[in-house]
Amino acid sequence: MTGLKNGWVLPLEFLGTGVTGGVGLEVSATCPGEDDGVDYTPDDAYPFVLTFHTPKSARAYAGIRAAWSEYRGASSQEERTSAQEHAHALVGEDKVPVPPGARTAFAVEFGGNSDGIEDDGSESEEDL
């Protein structure tokens, strides 16, 4: 495991690098492998990402990704605002309940605690 981003503890935001927060748990990991020819990945491992969702959060996440595409393709501030509003409407707790324990998921299992969650929703390397 190389990283953890807990979307359940972050507000949904569209940033220059993509979407953060909202729903779901994203675990970045590697498994033994060979050089895949990609400069920014390890030469001795294959990187992959696992995401954990409930059925409702999976549907919301798909809608958020679609709204992100609309946001990136927008030609006006009104279109960007509309895409953001659409995404926010998908993840309200009345629409996608937070599963029990999701906000602190993996905190104990990987030696950290809920205080070890960074501002971006990821756990620090020390806590993994």
Taking only the tens place, the pLDDT of each residue in 83-109 is 999 999 998 768 899 899 888 876 544
Position 4, amino acid = L
pLDDT band at 123 (very low <50, low <70, confident <90, very high): very low
Using the predicted structure, report yes or no on whether residue 31 has a pLDDT greater than 60.
yes
- Average pLDDT of the residues of the chain: 82
Q: CA-CA distance, 78 to 66, in Å (whole number)?
A: 17
Place of tokens 């999976």: 58
What's the pTM? 0.69
